[in-house]
Structure 1
Amino acid sequence: MGSPKKNQSQGGFFSAMTSGLSMFSNAMHRSVNGLLGYEGVEVINPEGGKEDAEEEAQRGRWKQEERDSYWKMMQKYIGADVTSMVTLPVLIFEPMTMLQKMAELMEYTHLLDQADECEDPYLRLVYASSWAISVYFAYQRTWKPFNPILGETYEMANHGGITFISEQISHHPPMSAGHAENEHFTYDVTSKLKTKFLGNSLDVYPVGRTRVTLKRDGVVLDLVPPPTKVNNLIFGRTWVDSPGEMVMTNLTTGDKVVLYFQPCGWFGANRYEVDGYVYNADEEPKILMTGKWSESMSYQPCDLEGEPLPGTELKEVWHLAQTPANDKFQYTCFAHKINSFDTAPKKLLASDSRLRPDRWALEKGDLSKAGAEKSSLEERQRAEKRIREAKGDHFTPKWFDQTEEVTPTPWGDLEVYRFNGKYTEHRNGIENSIATDTSDVQSTEFNPWQYALSDE
């Protein structure tokens, strides 16, 4: 395969790279199972169909009359951003919020630990980008997470020495911020999703900034993920794909990794496939990477033409952990852990997602109560907005501060928020009282509100 030129766009390079299997080395050939052997073939009909719709109905998503009614309502939103403007029925939700879903990136953080310990700057990017890819198996779930209430939080502890906190910092537009760290890395994200409703599908654009700082050398990594497409949203069997490029850049050295997520074709061809290269600051390929975001990723040193170096072989860097069979919500074991109070610190914040009554009711299988509680929370949020506007106040996040920085992304500009360290002070301040705390955290009333009830 020819070496990518400096004046050649990444899109053009990857179009050339994926246009024919003959351009790949034997190592690449072994990984592209979708085209070679149809391993794990899955019949995907991009347009949806009766059989797919019937299968989806059996999974408890929609009854046909519900689909027809919802379709009539949604037609007016075609082409619009529906991130926070449409009220959705609770039957298509999973018992998790977007703040919790952000925490799913923490499952394979041992890869970031390895990146921090790694001496090789290119192998460091192999570890770090594999960590970024690892979450896509969880992201393929087609159940919708709850939109967080303004001021809602999620805390996680008891996982690999990691402390994680996320907070909903804006409602219109929906924005979240997150921070995590252990002895090897810090992770900071400001997230603002942008959507485009296309009728029976939804495009999701990750207008966000993700930064990972590796503590040993102070290396800063910047991540730009690909967009996501939810197919057969209303009619047919719903499925998720993320075709496009993922770019992780070492802002300290200029090295980067560019990975192309293959779009899914008919009969599942190319689905899950990821291929690409780690480049040095001069944009010369140093390591090829290949695999499936649903299974594993491997790497191999390469020459300037992108071909594997003689005497080297593919080495696996990440493999999917065992997942529960026939799980109702397609959760991984880690997703169940995120929902559990076992990962919650003692004296959990009352604003934590686990305590939401609608989420809690849905987890117990009470759809009627979940729907009623969801409506109640949304009305409370609207009421609080009216109070805030009447007072002339502005919502101020508790654990994150807005900076003056506005960073460009491929899908729009983003106001950047920074972890202010107050959560660390909060946690440290209550450590001494935890040993004598006998309260039942599950009995804590969900309370993300800025104003007291008496103010309403």
Structure 2
Amino acid sequence: MPQTNQRVRALRTGLMDWKRSFPTKDDSGDDDEETASPADKSELQHTLKNLSLKLDDLSTCNDLIAKHGAALQRSLNELDNLRIPSESGEKLKVVNERATLFRITSNAMINACKDFLELAETHSRKWQRALQYEQEQRVHLEETIEQLAKQHNSLERAFRSAPGRPPNPNKSFSEGSLLTSKGEDSEEDEDTEYFDAMEDSTSFITVITQPKEDRKAEGGTGTSSVDWSSDNVLDSASFVSKGSSKVKRRVRIPDKPNYSLNLWSIMKNCIGRELSKIPMPVNFNEPLSMLQRLTEDLEYHHLLDKAVHCANSVEQMCLVAAFSVSSYSTTVHRIAKPFNPMLGETFELDRMEEMGLRSLCEQVSHHPPSAAHYVFSKHGWSLWQEITIASKFRGKYISIMPLGAIHLEFQASGNHYVWRKSTSTVHNIIVGKLWIDQSGDIEIVNHKTNDRCQLKFVPYSYFSKEAPRKVTGVVSDSQGKAHYVLSGSWDEQMECSKIVHSSSSSSSSDGKQKTVYQTLPAKLLWKKYPLPENAENMYYFSELALTLNELEEGVAPTDSRLRPDQRLMEKGRWDEANTEKQRLEEKQRLSRRRRMESCMSGHGQGCTIEEEKESDGYMPLWFEKRLDPLTGETACIYKGGYWEAKERQDWHMCPNIF
């Protein structure tokens, strides 16, 4: 018995040494992905934890068997020494025989455990060496790939500067002209905050049942007056006709030219810097601004139009959650960077007849890039947000973190929903095909009823059994009672299933308890529209995106449609677009310097830090800073006047930014 315990302790020590040989997030900080991917580490840590737990169980059972076996033997020996009647002696003999059988069986089990421990102890060293070797090979491979990328860049430069080869400045971008600019666009922002996703997100299992089987269970809950089998708002949420429009919109744009440019040659010296402060040629852009990308979130506005008619707040939450997920569906193939708007740039979407809404965006800050957005719908809802884009280039990937709260209010019910966007990551920056993923948790809160929806965007992993781009969620009321389970993917569709019964399962191997939800069959909430024909040659734009940069009469002179470099790029004249982009950025820097000089001349002794920030910051034309009572943050809220100015065609107050 002591020998078994000794072997258990030896194997546990070996496992801990094995675990320490692989760096964790705490050991490696931001560089943890340089040694092993999160999926590798997560799977390894999970396996090691399970093995340790099983060894603990085995050791405990071994100790208990030894302890209780010895106690039983002592008790039997004491009974043998007592003077007892012959009838009791027969019974004692039977008990002795059973105890002997138990001892034999226990010894057999202990011997089998010894054999298992010996085998595991032997193979654990082999596993440790094999995994260590694989880790070293992976690191070596990554270093080799990076070195090859650098050598490729050096050869490319040598080829361009070779004697007898005429330079073509219009089609090559030197590192000096793009990367060594000392203007405001090269400053590092050390104050950017980053928010990690919630780690204690709800873990659950769903079991589908038929409506007839659980009519009693459903009626017994007393939580909903809606009959799931009847035709209600959720039944028809996904079947929406786009309708016909009196205004003829364009259905295509010029095909994307086949320009080649080495991304590594542009970004290799920019690792760790704010992405918006890296002077980038338009070759990495798509012919839309960030303001237009924000407006694209409204593509599936019909979900909110349907949600207006929901009498039940938890059903309405399902549609709001589907709308929040649908905004990511346009990003699955869109790995190009949108134009960073000029300070004071605006974008309007006046589709009252076609979509029943009006939308206005304004760039209210340049560093960090921040845009304010307000939408009014004639169907009875309004949406507003101020989104600040925080992004970092980490060498192998780019993280894009939209900071700021999104507000949605339904006028009739007064339901007011607030949520935030998830983190987007662009992978394979150095080598391989670029691809984008969404990750993190989103919590949607109805501040009137305190209903909540927890959405989890599962990050993709080559080693995961989960479907790619998976999204799951649970809708709960103010008492914490779950009513609906949401499932789907952020690039295709979302479904909801009504919960008729819930129960807690036993603790899983990782120590967390999962909830089992018994649900009715799922109903489709939202499905992505198919992409237009030839979309792969038109930046993978959706039908709505193709119309956003279409010229319209009567818009403000600061509208993104009128931005010259973006217009030239859409037409395929990228060389001219790059020249125009540099002119606009220099004009913006000059405007900032003038504001600084005005501040200094007005005070004589220069500006304080607060005054400098105020003079550097843009005083929004159509939005104003207010304290948000729900989030406690200061955000830009629409103050009105834009649509009235458009009706009068009075734009004298607009700055000259183009």
- 2:302 is aligned to 110
Change (3 A) 1:154 1:291: same
Is 1:90 the counterpart of 2:282 in the alignment? yes
Deviation at residue 338 of structure 1 after TM alignment: 1.6
Change (3 A) 1:90 1:284: same
Amino acid at match of 1:301: K
- 2:97 is aligned to none
Is 1:450 the counterpart of 2:651 in the alignment? no
Choose which of 14, 22, 25 in structure 1 pairs with 2:207.
Answer: 25
Deviation at residue 59 of structure 1 after TM alignment: 9.3
User: Is the Cα contact below 8 Å between 2:385 and 2:406 reproduced in 1?
Assistant: yes
Is 1:304 the counterpart of 2:508 in the alignment? no
Change (3 A) 1:314 1:244: same
The gaps in structure 1 that reach 5 residues or longer are 1-8, 18-22, 28-57, 434-443
> Equivalent residue of 1:266, what SS?
coil
- 1:322 is aligned to 530
> What are the residue-to-residue correspondences of 1:20-419 with 2, within 5 Å?
23-26=205-208, 60=258, 62-63=260-261, 66-74=262-270, 77-78=271-272, 80=273, 82-140=274-332, 141-158=334-351, 159-183=354-378, 184-266=380-462, 270-302=467-499, 303-305=501-503, 307=516, 309=518, 312-327=520-535, 328=537, 329-341=539-551, 344=552, 346-392=553-599, 393=615, 395-405=618-628, 415-419=634-638
> Equivalent residue of 1:107, what SS?
helix
> Equivalent residue of 1:243, what SS?
strand
Amino acid at match of 1:368: D
Change (3 A) 1:370 1:406: farther
Change (3 A) 1:240 1:120: same
Looking at structure 2, the residues matched to 61 and 247 of structure 1 have their Cα atoms a distance apart, in angstroms, of: 41
User: Is the Cα contact below 8 Å between 1:152 and 1:448 reproduced in 2?
Assistant: no
> Equivalent residue of 1:180, what SS?
strand
> Equivalent residue of 2:581, what SS?
helix
Deviation at residue 12 of structure 1 after TM alignment: 2.5
Change (3 A) 1:128 1:407: closer
Looking at structure 1, the residues matched to 517 and 264 of structure 2 have their Cα atoms a distance apart, in angstroms, of: 53
Radius of gyration: which is bigger? 2
Deviation at residue 137 of structure 1 after TM alignment: 1.4
User: Is the Cα contact below 8 Å between 2:397 and 2:426 reproduced in 1?
Assistant: yes
User: Is the Cα contact below 8 Å between 1:149 and 1:448 reproduced in 2?
Assistant: no
Deviations 1:349-391 (A, max 9, x none): 1100011111111111111011111111101101111111112
Looking at structure 2, the residues matched to 414 and 12 of structure 1 have their Cα atoms a distance apart, in angstroms, of: 25
Q: Normalized per residue, which structure has more strand? A: 1
User: Is the Cα contact below 8 Å between 1:384 and 1:451 reproduced in 2?
Assistant: no
Amino acid at match of 2:621: K
Q: Which has the higher contact order (CA 8 A, sep 6+)?
A: 1
Looking at structure 2, the residues matched to 451 and 385 of structure 1 have their Cα atoms a distance apart, in angstroms, of: 13
Looking at structure 1, the residues matched to 258 and 434 of structure 2 have their Cα atoms a distance apart, in angstroms, of: 12
Looking at structure 2, the residues matched to 59 and 276 of structure 1 have their Cα atoms a distance apart, in angstroms, of: 41
Deviations 1:37-72 (A, max 9, x none): xxxxxxxxxxxxxxxxxxxxx995744xx2342243
Deviation at residue 337 of structure 1 after TM alignment: 1.8
Looking at structure 2, the residues matched to 216 and 262 of structure 1 have their Cα atoms a distance apart, in angstroms, of: 35
Looking at structure 2, the residues matched to 267 and 98 of structure 1 have their Cα atoms a distance apart, in angstroms, of: 34
Looking at structure 2, the residues matched to 407 and 280 of structure 1 have their Cα atoms a distance apart, in angstroms, of: 19
Looking at structure 1, the residues matched to 497 and 486 of structure 2 have their Cα atoms a distance apart, in angstroms, of: 7
Deviation at residue 10 of structure 1 after TM alignment: 6.1
Looking at structure 2, the residues matched to 10 and 282 of structure 1 have their Cα atoms a distance apart, in angstroms, of: 21
User: Is the Cα contact below 8 Å between 2:588 and 2:657 reproduced in 1?
Assistant: no
Size of the aligned set, in residue pairs, is: 381
Looking at structure 1, the residues matched to 397 and 390 of structure 2 have their Cα atoms a distance apart, in angstroms, of: 14
CA RMSD of aligned residues (A): 2.7
Looking at structure 2, the residues matched to 275 and 237 of structure 1 have their Cα atoms a distance apart, in angstroms, of: 27
> Equivalent residue of 2:200, what SS?
helix
Looking at structure 2, the residues matched to 240 and 90 of structure 1 have their Cα atoms a distance apart, in angstroms, of: 19
TM-score (norm 2): 0.54
Deviation at residue 425 of structure 1 after TM alignment: 2.8
The gaps in structure 2 that reach 5 residues or longer are 1-196, 210-255, 504-514, 600-614
> Equivalent residue of 2:300, what SS?
coil
Deviations 1:74-105 (A, max 9, x none): 2xx32x4x143211121110000000000001
User: Is the Cα contact below 8 Å between 1:247 and 1:259 reproduced in 2?
Assistant: yes
Deviation at residue 405 of structure 1 after TM alignment: 4.7
Amino acid at match of 2:642: Y
Deviation at residue 185 of structure 1 after TM alignment: 0.7
Change (3 A) 1:372 1:452: closer
User: Is the Cα contact below 8 Å between 1:117 and 1:216 reproduced in 2?
Assistant: no
Looking at structure 1, the residues matched to 562 and 463 of structure 2 have their Cα atoms a distance apart, in angstroms, of: 41
Deviations 1:115-139 (A, max 9, x none): 1111111110111111111111112
- 1:46 is aligned to none
Deviation at residue 11 of structure 1 after TM alignment: 3.0
Looking at structure 1, the residues matched to 568 and 405 of structure 2 have their Cα atoms a distance apart, in angstroms, of: 33
Looking at structure 2, the residues matched to 357 and 213 of structure 1 have their Cα atoms a distance apart, in angstroms, of: 36
Amino acid at match of 1:167: E
Change (3 A) 1:404 1:286: closer
User: Is the Cα contact below 8 Å between 2:368 and 2:388 reproduced in 1?
Assistant: yes
Choose which of 640, 649, 654 in structure 2 pairs with 1:421.
Answer: 640
Looking at structure 2, the residues matched to 448 and 103 of structure 1 have their Cα atoms a distance apart, in angstroms, of: 24
Farther off after superposition, 183-192 or 390-399: 390-399
User: Is the Cα contact below 8 Å between 1:301 and 1:308 reproduced in 2?
Assistant: no
Q: Normalized per residue, which structure has more helix? A: 2
